[in-house]
Amino acid sequence: MSSVKFLTFWRRFQVFLFLVFLILPGIIASAHALTEAERAYQQAEKELKRFAASKRRLKYRRYWLRVIARFKEVYRRFPESRVAPKALYKTARLYEELYGYSGRKKDLWTALKYYRLVWEKYPRSPEATQALRRAIRIYERKLRDPVKALALKKRLKRSSAGKPVAAQKKKAPSPKKASPKAKEPRPAGKVLAVKIGGTIKQIRHWSSADYSRVVLDLSRKVSYQAHVLKPLPGKPPRLYVDLEPARISPYLKPLVPVKDGLLKQIRFGQYRKNTVRVVLDLASLTDYRVFFLDEPARLVIDLIGKETRQKACPSPPKIINGEISLAQQLGLCIRRVVIDPGHGGKDPGCRRRNLKEKDIVLKVAKRLAEKLRTKLGCQVILTRSRDVFIPLEQRTAIANMKRADLFISIHVNSSPKRSASGIETYYLNFASDEEAMRVAAVENAASTHSLSELQNLLKGILLNTKLEESRRLAEAVQKNLVKTLRRRYRRVKDRGVRTAPFVVLIGTRMPAVLVEIGFLSHPVEAKRLVSPRYQDQVAEGIARGIVAYVKEMKLAAY
């Protein structure tokens, strides 16, 4: 074999080895996860059999809940596995059976909740049809609610229409019984296009005297149109939104009383066959924004009323050695800063072994809060002070309802490249580069596809956002954070100020930034991020940046 042929063969062999070592671990991991899920489900089934065989245990609620917890755990650990819908269905079925022993209506409602999760999360699974039928049975025979039973029957019929004929398990009609005048059934594709749309699963709201945010959780993306009705004698201003094609979940009540400041109540109904109309009754209305967020699908409605007058800045508080706060010395009313520790609860953020982003940023946020109280003498509010999950849209609502003067969201970065490192600060705008888009996708828990759609939405949203103030705040924080860390640590990379469409920053009514304080995927920075000393220096750097921003804004005022 000639040397040229040998080199060519050797290069191909190297490529082959590279592909094997790149792909094989993923295949093994996937197979292992699948096997582990099935093993966990089998263990839960074994425990159920042992439980069912004991007449004594059937009398005690704690044993029921112990078995139910095993099936819940299978679903929580392996939501993408083949056994996940089975585990959810078993959870619901056990709650339904428990009702027969306990007589508690709460157990029935819990069973319905898990049945609904089956058909909404796994609509193509065989368990989805079973769950719908069980729910219909509960409404008809146990809750005596024919209206909701009928709604679910229609849903069952629609879902059956979208399946292949073989999957419907229905016998073909006898030729003798067929009528020559009978209408031919419409093709399944047309039924899907006309009837099946998004379902409004839940309505969430947060409201204050001059700001409200309403979020409609949907099963999928829908079209929407918003309209304002001006106030009339005896009638307050109203905003209504039509969603199409859309349906209302049978579990929702048609009226949601709020009576909290700006928002009085939320009304909704099936306005037309494929259209849901949501009406918001308001005390006043100055401006509003409506935008759609995907993954999961939700429609966000921001309402801005007549701004109530704030009290003049309070008398300067004495903080240390009888000195007044810096904000008061500069003549600025920095009353309130909201700090947002990213992620939390069921959302751990980025991870490295046993290290989790949610734990690191909470510690940094608490240190930052103390430093700001000392340096500025202002009120500091954390969106979360413990390990709990808070949706992104709720974090923004907290800042707006508390009428914060600044909003700081703290996060830890991660990258497929282990060599990536450094500090970067973002403010809301179109993505400045591909890397900024990747970071936003991670923090939004969304795909880059949905982010590209979000970029188009920003064209209208950014008109009322304090972009210039946010840019100045980002620059001050980035500069001082890097400077502070470089005094104690080597090779602190300054990745600069960037822009990206972060959901947590959309709709903020004050200067707002998102700070990425290091890379958990980088071995050196991962060690630093869990160090109390490093966390304290990060908090100190961000605090100095905020102080610098306050001073700059004072100078700009002259």
Short-list 106, 107, 62, 68, CA closest to 87: 68
Q: Judge whether residue 62 has pLDDT over 70.
A: yes
- Residue 448 pLDDT more than 60? no
At residue 326, does pLDDT exceed 60?
no
Quick check: 188 and 215 in contact, CB under 8 A? no
Q: How far is CA 401 from CA 224, 246, 325, 351, 396, in A?
A: 26, 30, 24, 32, 9
Task: Report the distance separating Cα 508 and Cα 161, nearest Å.
Answer: 44
- pLDDT at position 332 is 60
Specify whether the CB–CB gap between 394 and 345 falls below 8 A. Answer: no
Can you read off the two tokens belonging to residue 398? 């907290």
Closest by CA position to 304, among listed 290, 322, 294, 317: 290
pLDDT at 169: 39
CA distance 475 to 478: 5
Judged by phi (left if over 0) then psi (alpha if -120 to 50, else beta), residue 47 lies in: alpha
Whole-number pLDDT of residue 232? 83
Question: Per-residue pLDDT tens for 79-100?
Answer: 878 898 999 999 999 999 888 8
- The structural domains of the chain, ordered by start, are 3-164 (1.25.40.10), 193-304 (2.60.40.3500), 322-557 (3.40.630.40)
pLDDT at 8: 66
Q: What is the mean pLDDT of the chain?
A: 82
User: 170: pLDDT confidence band, cut at 50, 70 and 90?
Assistant: very low
Mean pLDDT within 350-369? 95
Strand 336-341 to 379-382 pairing: parallel
* Least confident residue range of 162-176, 207-221, 235-249, 356-370: 162-176
Contacts of 185 (CB under 8 A, 6+ apart): none
From its phi and psi, is residue 410 left (phi > 0), alpha (psi between -120 and 50) or beta?
beta
- Report the pLDDT averaged over residues 150-174: 60
Under DSSP, is residue 515 helix (H, G, I), strand (E, B) or coil? strand
Tokens of 49: 């059999």
pLDDT in tens, 521-531: 999 999 999 99
pLDDT reported for residue 314: 47
pLDDT tier, 55 (very low <50, low <70, confident <90, very high otherwise): confident
What whole-number distance in Å separates Cα of residue 359 and Cα of residue 386?
Answer: 9
pLDDT value of position 147: 77
How far from chain centre, in Å, is Cα 300?
Answer: 12
- Buried (b) or exposed (e) across 410-429, using 16+ Cβ within 10 A? bbbbbbeeeebbbbbbbbbb
Hey, which bits of 164-295 come out as E strands?
Answer: 198-207, 211-218, 223-229, 238-244, 246-248, 255-260, 263-272, 275-282, 287-293
264 pLDDT higher than 60: yes
**In the structure, what pLDDT confidence band is assigned to residue 463 with cuts at 50, 70 and 90?**
low
The CA-CA-CA angle for residues 214, 444, 293, to 5°, reads 40
CA distance 357 to 128: 35
Number of C-beta neighbours around residue 315 at 10 A: 8
Measure the CA–CA gap between 556 and 550, rounded to whole angstroms: 10
Tell me, what's the pLDDT at 177?
41
What pairs with residue 498 in β-bridges? 426
Note the pLDDT of residue 171: 41
pLDDT score recorded for residue 335: 85
Is 123's pLDDT higher than 50?
Answer: yes
Average pLDDT over residues 438-460: 69
For 448-474, what is the mean pLDDT?
Answer: 72
The pLDDT assigned to 213 comes to 94
pLDDT at 69: 92
Predicted confidence at residue 479, as pLDDT, reads 97
- In the chain, helix, strand, coil percent, each to 5? 50, 20, 30
* Higher local confidence (pLDDT), 314 or 542: 542
Q: Please name the helix (run of DSSP H) or strand (run of DSSP E) that holds residue 554, with its range, or none.
A: helix 532-557
Q: Are 409 and 512 in contact (CB under 8 A)?
A: yes
Q: Tell me the mean pLDDT in the region 551-558.
A: 69
Q: pLDDT tens for residues 215-257?
A: 999 988 899 999 999 888 878 889 999 999 998 887 788 888 8
The string of pLDDT tens digits covering residues 139-148 is 888 888 877 8
Residue with the bigger pLDDT between 482 and 466: it is 482
Q: Please identify which residue in the block is written with the tokens 């109540």.
A: 265
* Contacts with 79 (C-beta within 8 Å, 6 or more apart), sequence order: 121
Q: Looking at residue 176, what is its pLDDT? A: 41
Higher per-residue pLDDT: 541 or 166: 541
pLDDT score, position 223: 92
CA distance 413 to 368: 19
3-35 per-position pLDDT tens digit: 656 556 666 666 666 655 555 555 554 444 457
pLDDT band at 173 (very low <50, low <70, confident <90, very high): very low
Residue 150: pLDDT over 60 = yes
